[in-house]
Structure 1
Amino acid sequence: MPPEKTKAAKAASLTLRHLNKDSRGGLLTVESTIPVGHGYGSSTADVVATIRAVADAFEMGLRPSVISRLAVEAEQASDAIAFEDQAVLFAQREGLVIEHFGDALPPIRVIGFKANDGQLVDTLALPPARYSSEEIQTFSMLRGLAARSIRFQDPRLLGQAATLSAKISQRHLAKAQFATALGIAEQFDACGVQVAHSGSLIGIILDASAVGIADASRRTAHAATAAGFKDVVVQPIYSGGGAVEI
């Protein structure tokens, strides 16, 4: 329940098969406040929670790598949330970790929001991006930049990598007002900008350890709201606290 959670239902069946258990009966209820179709990872959250719940019903645990493989089988492409705070380079359509970066992301705050068109994105109907050779070479450089940012816990390096990646994504799944978001990030000396590569979300990355971070977060969020962005939220990442709606 509810019946439209078909990916979760498939994930439950796949997990039962993996555990070599039959499905004589049981009730799985999925409750979530995560909006769908914008890049929040709602379907992966449903699927990963389902896989864990089914395994827990048999008092069994599954490794993140197994959960990710089952999740991809259930929904074709999956986020890496099964690895929780481990920063990994993840093949979303294969369910495989390409590289473990050895630590969590550096402490940051993300001012997240949707562009004012608010268009839903059907992930399954979205064709995979066909990157140019130049873009692929850039991704190789970004991989090294991300690894260095995590090794040295440097939010600015992470922001640089995210911004360059977001600009490449803009050529394949354009976000309305992307240039406006870049302007706000520059105005408040943010670390960078990130986007959902299969959704409508944009985020401005701030250094959570910077002096005056609370005030900077508020001012950045208010600027995003004034620019017409929707559902503006301040989300601390590995820096304590929960999301704050603006």
Structure 2
Amino acid sequence: MTTSTSSAAHRPIPAPDNGPHLHPHLHPRPGTGHAPSHHGELLQGVFADSDGRPCAGLVTLPTTTPGTRADFTPHPGIPRDAVTVVPADRTKAARAARLAVAACAARTGRPAHGGTLHLTGAVPLGLGMGSSTSDVLATVRAVADAYGLRLDPGTTARLAVRAERASDPLMLDARPVLFAQREGRVLDVLGPALPPLLVVGCLLGGGTPVDTLALPAPTADDADLRAYAHLRDRLRRALADGDTALLGRVATASARRAQRTLGHPEFDALVALARRTGAVGVQISHSGSVAGVLHDPHTPGAAARADETRRALDAHHIPYTRTFTAGGAPDAPHPPRSRTLRQPWTPNSCSLH
């Protein structure tokens, strides 16, 4: 079997920046860190890496809000493993704090102290919006700040995977990458930015939280690997061409494949109402209940279509959450020209294989 990969496949995350040389007797000070969340995935499955090894991977739909703030206060004389976290149920963040303290102390020569970790933010738990990774990333950044460091994404990703077993790529900001969530490495850099999107968010399954780690580990046979490789290639093309319609078809195909595990009863209704309201497709969390109907914001009447989508969600008793924009050129809020759909979106165009 052969799969198509770009020259960026299996691209390593940049090497660590060891930070400034610090005198070993200086104690760390209170530190603060922030992290965003995401809105589920545009693509998730099993992909061949550059060595041909099957590897679970995903491409998230980033959002700037909601997010998490972490405040870490080290306490001299407290063992490094003694971390009190508020709220007390954020055990993954507490584990991340202990790991980050050890790493930062070793890197700077400063004492490794435990302390108190306060987490604040509005990322919903268990909906597939990366709440755990947002907590963990904000925590690692807060501990690093306490030690006068700014850790590189590679180090942060490795700490995150150790803390929570599977991590979203929030440490890479909004860059569209295929990320091995259980290994903390980039499999493929897909392009500079996502095409522009207008997303009407909603919840499937009644918004019931999902225990991500309770889901079965992803598996794939040769046919699955070929299908995921095809979706990966089409997503790369969508990013290269700024093709929002193609991105929508990729996201819908990935979401449909995920129904073999998730089995959301409202999924077919969601796809149908997206088609009726002129959307380019749908996206979901592959490990939660959050979902989105995707519109091209630069087609005529996009705002009215988004409002119609919200009304259609209400009619189908699918809880609406919010409407937001995503994607677009990294240095501009909008692409240089308006685009129209290349062809009408039909039920058959949900599948790319």
Query: TM-score, normalised on structure 1?
Result: 0.92
What does residue range 73-92 of structure 1 map to in structure 2 within 5 Å?
Answer: 73-92=162-181
> Does the Cα contact within 8 Å between 1:37 and 1:120 map onto a contact in 2?
yes
> Does the Cα contact within 8 Å between 2:101 and 2:113 map onto a contact in 1?
no
Superposition RMSD on alpha carbons, in Å?
1.7
What does residue 113 of structure 2 align with? 24
- The size of the alignment, in residue pairs, is 241
CA drift at 1:132: 3.4
Which amino acid counterpart does residue 121 of structure 2 have in structure 1?
A: S
Identify, as 1 or 2, the structure richer in strand.
Answer: 2
- CA offset digits 1:69-118 (Å, max 9, x no partner): 21111101111111111100000100110011231111101111112533
1:4 to 75, 89, 103: 89
SS of equivalent residue, structure 1 residue 211: coil
What does residue 217 of structure 1 align with? 306
What does residue 243 of structure 1 align with? none
1:71 to 144, 155, 160: 160
Identify, as 1 or 2, the structure richer in helix.
Answer: 1
| Structure 2 residue 257 is matched with structure 1 residue 168 | yes
Which amino acid counterpart does residue 176 of structure 1 have in structure 2?
A: P
| Structure 2 residue 199 is matched with structure 1 residue 110 | yes
* Separation in 2, partners of 1:22, 1:227: 57
What does residue 145 of structure 2 align with? 56
Largest Rg, 1 or 2: 2
What does residue 244 of structure 1 align with? none
* Separation in 1, partners of 2:300, 2:100: 47
What does residue 351 of structure 2 align with? none
Which amino acid counterpart does residue 219 of structure 2 have in structure 1?
A: R
CA drift at 1:25: 4.1
CA drift at 1:29: 0.6
Change in CA separation of 1:232 and 1:225 when aligned onto 2, cut-off 3 Å: farther
Query: TM-score, normalised on structure 2?
Result: 0.65
* Separation in 2, partners of 1:66, 1:127: 27
* Separation in 1, partners of 2:213, 2:309: 33
